[in-house]
Structure 1
Amino acid sequence: MASWNSIPLEIAYQVLGWTAFIAWTFAPWPQVILNFRRKSVVGFNFDFVLLNLTKHTSYLIYNATLYFSSDVQKQYFEKYGSKEMIPVAANDVAFSTHAVLLALIHLLQIAIYERGSQTFSKVSIGIVSVVWFTAGVCFFIALPTHSWLWLINIFNSIQVVMAAIKYTPQAFMNFKRKSTDGFSIYIICFNFTGSVANFMQMAVQSIDQNSWVNFYGNIGKILLSLVSTFYDLIFLCQHFLLYPARKENVPGKINEEKDPLIDSFNQPDHSQNV
């Protein structure tokens, strides 16, 4: 495998990678905290959670297999050249592992907290069923010839497709309710930061190697950043421009919750009281 030509670029690659990991690691937690404080998941779209779990599970399979499997790495070098770098870093594996665990926590909160009339839609259940059935068929196709690189690229494609559609139910729910109450905007802020850092990390590697193979060798990673950034901008517009939070009670909307990350700063200070 190729080595780095520039120490500063190698350091920048690691810094950007772990910046993306930290941002994406923190991204799901504000929603967990918000759900816990409210003891409710009303306003948090269930289809988003189900599709998100499928997305991150597929991404974990891709990242962990390409990062740890010498057989898959050998197939990668045979396809793209032995002088190329593996386009998956340790931070990618760490992120996708953490993301799967957090998606499971979101599912647990849906099971135990007040959820009103919200349910999983038949459409999302159908999509997830088709995705895993297709993945199973692809596994048996790859098994006779040990085409593992082809197989994990299928999982990489799955995670891109799921990323492209998983945000749609939440965006539509916000539009329908004309509100983003119950959906933490901090998910989007952290996610946007991680997406930009992820894209920059790949660019740094390409500049150092004077090759853009890592972009099309891991097309899923670049598409993930672009798709996530697109939807992040939609959610930011919904939250701050289209449906800004209102102080007064509005019928049919959820106004009782406060964002757990800023609520603590708004508590009155009684330390001066005698």
Structure 2
Amino acid sequence: MPDSSLGEISVPIEDSTLQLAELAGYIATICFTLQYAPQAYLNYKRKSVQGFSTTGVLIKLVGASFLAVNAILLGEALPLCIYGIFNVSQHVIFMIQFAFYMKQKKFFWFCALPLIPLIVGVSLPETIPLTNTLKPISQLTSHLPQLYLSYKKRTTEGVSLSTQHLNVIGGFCGLFMYSFIEAKSFMTVLVYWNSLFQAFSLYALAVYFDGWERIWSSLPLVGGNQGSTREEPALPTVKNPDD
């Protein structure tokens, strides 16, 4: 998630338009805070993490951990701290799901990852400006393993497109806000564009491999462009979803 604090007004606008831009920013924050809830529910419903990249989630957890801890240590705005805590919690839940559904206990150890930025931030506070860059970098790179996995399996089964719908809403709302309010850095705006890239790239794979119905389906589809049919939730499996 980009910096939640608002910058300078970039163009002369009426108060009502400014309020609308600020509202869009808050909507974006809510979307990015809740975006992974549908994915966690999908994993729980099918008792499987097949098709969901463990590598991508691990990269996201690293970035989210540094964002949350650094925001708290620096006394950032409360919305940013809350977002960071929620983001870490959601990715820790994914690690627990990986451990249970793949029957690999090593993922429990990754739940302790937030302790690393806490130790670094407290003992070496001068490194915080540097480690703050890990969140946007991880957000920009963590989607690539998921794209690769979906392309290799030739299906988007296992990926919640409801999560991507929230990415789209949050991305457009964020870009709308920064059409009227000056961003504090280019990286802030880039992260909103990246949210749209993540969503539309998965939409493209979903349509190509699974058919148009996949965009709004509540369950994965099988058959792709050959004639899709609804598939029942997958049974538990120990196979690594990145295989």
**TM, length-normalised to structure 2:** 0.69
Residue pair 1:65, 1:152 contacting (<8 A) in 2 also: no
| Alpha-carbon distance change, 63 to 232 in structure 1, aligned in 2, over 3 angstroms | farther
Please provide the CA RMSD for this pair.
3.6
- 1:54 Cα shift? 1.1
Aligned length in residues: 206
Residue pair 2:39, 2:159 contacting (<8 A) in 1 also: yes
| Alpha-carbon distance change, 58 to 223 in structure 1, aligned in 2, over 3 angstroms | farther
More helix by share: 1
Residue pair 1:42, 1:116 contacting (<8 A) in 2 also: no
Question: In structure 1, how many angstroms separate the alpha carbons of the residues matched to 2:189 and 2:103?
Answer: 37
- 1:181 Cα shift? 0.7
Residue pair 1:199, 1:225 contacting (<8 A) in 2 also: yes
Structure 1 counterpart of 2:91, one-letter code: A
Aligned match for 1:175, one of 151, 165, 172: 151
Q: How does 1:26-105 map to 2 (within 5 A)?
A: 26-64=34-72, 68=75, 90-105=78-93
Residue pair 1:156, 1:220 contacting (<8 A) in 2 also: no
Q: 1:126-185: per-residue Cα shift (whole Å, max 9, x none)?
A: xx9xxx69x949x7482xxxxxxxx44423321121112111111101000001111111
| Alpha-carbon distance change, 2 to 199 in structure 1, aligned in 2, over 3 angstroms | closer
Residue pair 1:18, 1:91 contacting (<8 A) in 2 also: no
Aligned match for 2:177, one of 201, 206, 221: 201
Q: 1:205-246: per-residue Cα shift (whole Å, max 9, x none)?
A: 22xxxxxxx332xx4322211222222221110112344354
Residue pair 1:157, 1:220 contacting (<8 A) in 2 also: no
| Alpha-carbon distance change, 140 to 64 in structure 1, aligned in 2, over 3 angstroms | closer
Structure number with greater Rg is 1
Provide structure 2 residue ranges, at least 5 long, that are not aligned to the other structure: 1-5, 215-220, 235-243
**TM, length-normalised to structure 1:** 0.62
| Alpha-carbon distance change, 179 to 10 in structure 1, aligned in 2, over 3 angstroms | same
Tell me the equivalent position of 1:227: 194
Question: In structure 1, how many angstroms separate the alpha carbons of the residues matched to 2:35 and 2:232?
Answer: 23
Aligned match for 1:110, one of 98, 111, 116: 98
| Alpha-carbon distance change, 192 to 90 in structure 1, aligned in 2, over 3 angstroms | farther
